[in-house]
Structure 1
Amino acid sequence: MTVQANPISEQLFSRAKVVTPGGVNSPVRAFGSVGGHPHFIAQANGAYLTNADGKRLLDYIGSWGPMILGHNHPRVHQAIAEALQGGTSFGAPNEREVLLAEKVVELTRSSGVERVRFVNSGTEATMSALRLARGFTGRKYIVKFRGNYHGHADGLLVEAGSGLMTTAAGQLGSAAPSSAGVPEEYAALTLVSEYNDPAALDTLMQGRGHEIAAVIFEPVVGNAGVLVPSADFLAALHRVKDQGTLLVADEVMTGFRLSLQGACGRLGIQPDLICWGKIIGGGLPVGAYGGRAEVMDFVSPSGPVYQAGTLSGNPLAMAAGLATLSELQDQPELYGRLETYTTALADGLKDAAQAAGVPVSVNQIGSMLTVFFQDAPHGSVTTYQQAAHSDTQAFARWFQAMLAQGIYWAPSQFESIFVSAAHGDAELQTTLQAARQAFSEL
């Protein structure tokens, strides 16, 4: 596997490792599963990044999802600049947080959202939503699905997917921590079921439904690679509400990515609570959770469930999110264009792999896509167990071959890539040409 030299990035990485654990501030950035050194990015515009060595890269990460309009979009840039003139943080309410909350409620009302509370990250959103679910129901157990990642709160680092897929353990209904530092006693409050297995969820709920405060799930999984839910599984999810359990949709990745109403709107899901991040901050740190008023009014100061944050509703993040959602509303054809591009990308990747004799399965929905290096049954990976059987070494070699040609793909077999409005026909052709070369090298 040939890794191209980027001396400035390599120097920065060496310096970073002296002062930062592993040299990065989020583990997947370290390129641990694909080899080589991470690229340190100097700037980003449209569909492209420029690294510290001046190399231009066609970006399919999009800051892991939020850059749906492309990097440094003029409307978002202007909104942040205007907000900056008034200061960076107040520790008090501001108009922009009202405007963005109104916008989120407007767009997601069809999924039952009436109230929204802003936080600063997706982890904060899911952690807060589950505390709320416990407070509202008076129950202590939650259910999550193997391979679904909901942030790094202690109770959610159980069978958590993505970079943790090689270390997760446990059996159905058990909860082995995926990380050191998580007490087994706390992890035991998290029960585990199988994504896209309605019978397993029904069985778990029949036995313990009266104890379960919430079932949390990714409507479309992104952190075990892209996994799309079956209709039977979605029906089983809705059945958990029959036992007084709250259904919590983690749309940190999919919210406003798969449609203007999110994955819940696209797939017809009616959760009790929804968690968001990424796109609603336009690339700035943000998170939120929301749902029907009856549940959300249990949050302080209206109710007894405490949650607070000094920088929550930050005016810069609110401005960026409001500009992003407004731009998406103003371009009703955008989601169709994103899907058309990503479908063509998926088809081209499958053709290129087949021509080279490389077994792959490509999962795609909307502007999210994963190339699984395996020949999955029926051509599609549907479960965590199937995803885990992918050839990670083949993926690593392919990743490096793509990167050598200037294509910045997600540096993990178990992640989604994201297409933006800035990707056009030229980018599609460049990507497929690189992919044909990369597959041929395998």
Structure 2
Amino acid sequence: MQHTKSKALYEEAVKYIPGGVNSPVRAFKAVGMEPIFIEKGEGSKITDVDGNTYIDYICSWGPLLFGHGSPDILEGIQEQLLKGTSYGAPTAIEVEMAKLIVEAYEGIDEVRMVSSGTEATMSALRVARGYTGKNKIVKFEGCYHGHSDALLVKSGSGTLTFGVPTSPGVPADVVKHTLVCEYNNQEAVKALFEEHGEDIACVIVETVSGNMGLVPGKKEFLEYLREVTKAYNSLLIFDEVITGFRLGYGSSPEYFGVVPDMACFGKIIGGGLPVGAYGGRKDIMEIVSPCGPVYQAGTLSGNPLAMYVGKKTLEKLKNNPGIYKELEQKASYLAQGIRNNLKALDLELTVTQVGSLVCLFFTSGKIESYEDVKDCDLEKFNKYYKAMLERGILMGPAQFEALFLSTAHTKEDLDVTLKANYEALKVAYNK
């Protein structure tokens, strides 16, 4: 499989773009490769500039629940485009979109549209601090909530620690109010609240972590977060940028039976166009400008094209609830097939699956926190990744990414993927 044109584009790109890419994971550095430049996508397939076609499990990192270029999602978008791309003034479709989200998501009374998941989480934290009058926030090791300063934090050697900036350029003074706990660890959260609870504004959490591979939150852990935040008059924020409308039409409250005070969205609510949103109870959201003193604004918030595609996506999901069962069945078929291959090759690796998300970890044993995933054999994964790519399977170019299933993936796609998986595992482990 040749990547001559991709290589030439990359050599040109590095002259003008940091690292030649506009988001770090696209650089393929984690798997020791240069990036692949994409020409087009259709259904479950994606084609690069060299004409190589792959079965795509990136799906734009989750938004493309119906695959690339779904005709019923894109129908009418040209007409919408010709009306204008942005107005800087309200539109009816923003109202319709907000109503769909509020009606679908238990606990959300009002929602504010923004342009990215990072913007959504950053804004939600500001609102939480403004509402509670408190300073500290709690996040969990391995959970990624975008690249805003207060959230770009890693933990120290323990499970309970003050935040340390993950990136140069993030002042220590900014993250001194960010506390980090081990994911799925109730005792660590309890200890943290006993020490700092009176000044904790909120807890922000991915209900299913999709940024350290695929690590499901335990129901009892999420229930405890709900209990402890209520006890200390803190807010519970679900980061649903990945899971929102992917776990089910009712998202995490429906899936886990736990209702947060606020939630953040992205990806699926834009159907592949740039989008984000945050929402919460009415009394919380009405402290946001222009109703209240907490300021947040955005020139392209509620962009009519993103709202159009997002609305079509949510309406299709609302009117076809069987889609979620179909997606889960496909993901289960893929996950079980990988487990069967591992057994046949006598390999003790771990596969996780939640709804339409799947991950193969190059380590063994339970997967519940960052501690469990950090010892993955990255050298073996990199060999595996390149072997999968050579066989026409495109995955996120890092061990700590999930596979995203779409309705466009067929049984034939899954069978081709499982055959490639078996062969690539043999390559990685010299079997």
TM-score, length basis structure 1: 0.95
- What is aligned with 2:402? 416
Matched, 1:83 2:72: no
- Cα distance per residue 1:249-300 (max 9 Å; x no partner): 0000000011011123211121100000000001000000001101000100
8 A Cα contact 1:169 1:178, kept in partner: no
- What is aligned with 2:7? 10
Unpaired runs of at least 5, structure 2: none
Residue 391 of structure 1 deviates from its aligned partner by 0.9
Matched, 1:34 2:34: no
Secondary structure of the residue that 1:182 maps to in structure 2?
A: coil
Distance 1:234 1:425 in 2: 34
- What is aligned with 1:401? 387
- What is aligned with 2:298? 309
Distance 1:259 1:237 in 2: 21
Secondary structure of the residue that 1:85 maps to in structure 2?
A: helix
- Cα distance per residue 1:154-205 (max 9 Å; x no partner): 010002xxxxxxxx64542211111111011111110011110011101111
Matching residue within 281, 286, 298 for 2:270? 281
Distance 1:49 1:372 in 2: 24
Matched, 1:247 2:236: yes
Give the 5 Å matches for 1:26-105. Answer: 26-105=23-102
Distance 2:258 2:383 in 1: 38
Matching residue within 126, 130, 151 for 1:131? 126
8 A Cα contact 1:79 1:323, kept in partner: no
- Cα distance per residue 1:409-433 (max 9 Å; x no partner): 1111111110000011111111001
User: Given residue 347 of structure 1, which amino acid in structure 2 is its aligned partner?
Assistant: Q
Aligned residues: 426
Residue 235 of structure 1 deviates from its aligned partner by 2.1
- Cα distance per residue 1:282-341 (max 9 Å; x no partner): 100000000110100010000110000000010000001000111112221110010001
8 A Cα contact 1:170 1:176, kept in partner: no
Matching residue within 411, 415, 418 for 1:432? 418
- What is aligned with 2:195? 207
Secondary structure of the residue that 1:393 maps to in structure 2?
A: helix
8 A Cα contact 2:2 2:50, kept in partner: no
Distance 2:201 2:122 in 1: 13
Matched, 1:185 2:146: no
Matched, 1:144 2:139: yes
Residue 5 of structure 1 deviates from its aligned partner by 3.1
Distance 1:115 1:136 in 2: 15
User: Given residue 421 of structure 2, which amino acid in structure 1 is its aligned partner?
Assistant: A
Q: Which moved more, 1:423-432 or 1:169-178?
A: 169-178
Distance 2:71 2:180 in 1: 43
- What is aligned with 1:162? none
Distance 1:347 1:12 in 2: 38
Matching residue within 107, 114, 138 for 1:112? 107
- What is aligned with 1:165? none
Give the 5 Å matches for 1:146-295. Answer: 146-159=141-154, 169=156, 171=158, 172-239=160-227, 240-295=229-284
Residue 124 of structure 1 deviates from its aligned partner by 0.2
Q: Which moved more, 1:316-325 or 1:383-392?
A: 383-392
Distance 2:77 2:339 in 1: 40
Residue 359 of structure 1 deviates from its aligned partner by 2.6
8 A Cα contact 1:202 1:236, kept in partner: no
Distance 2:34 2:230 in 1: 47
- Cα distance per residue 1:379-406 (max 9 Å; x no partner): x311110011111111111111000000
Residue 358 of structure 1 deviates from its aligned partner by 2.8
User: Given residue 197 of structure 2, which amino acid in structure 1 is its aligned partner?
Assistant: G
Distance 2:145 2:164 in 1: 16
Matching residue within 310, 321, 335 for 1:332? 321
Unpaired runs of at least 5, structure 1: 160-167
Residue 123 of structure 1 deviates from its aligned partner by 0.2
- What is aligned with 1:391? 377
8 A Cα contact 2:162 2:177, kept in partner: no
Distance 1:148 1:398 in 2: 25
Secondary structure of the residue that 1:57 maps to in structure 2?
A: strand
8 A Cα contact 2:6 2:37, kept in partner: yes
8 A Cα contact 2:244 2:266, kept in partner: yes
Matching residue within 107, 117, 120 for 1:122? 117
User: Given residue 299 of structure 1, which amino acid in structure 2 is its aligned partner?
Assistant: V
Secondary structure of the residue that 2:31 maps to in structure 1?
A: coil
User: Given residue 136 of structure 2, which amino acid in structure 1 is its aligned partner?
Assistant: Y
- The runs of at least 4 consecutive aligned structure 1 residues that moved more than 4 Å come to none
Distance 1:276 1:248 in 2: 11
Identity within the alignment, %: 46
Q: Which moved more, 1:231-240 or 1:250-259?
A: 231-240
CA RMSD between the two structures: 1.0
User: Given residue 272 of structure 1, which amino acid in structure 2 is its aligned partner?
Assistant: D
8 A Cα contact 1:219 1:264, kept in partner: no
Residue 117 of structure 1 deviates from its aligned partner by 0.1
Q: Which moved more, 1:351-360 or 1:334-343?
A: 351-360
8 A Cα contact 1:368 1:416, kept in partner: yes
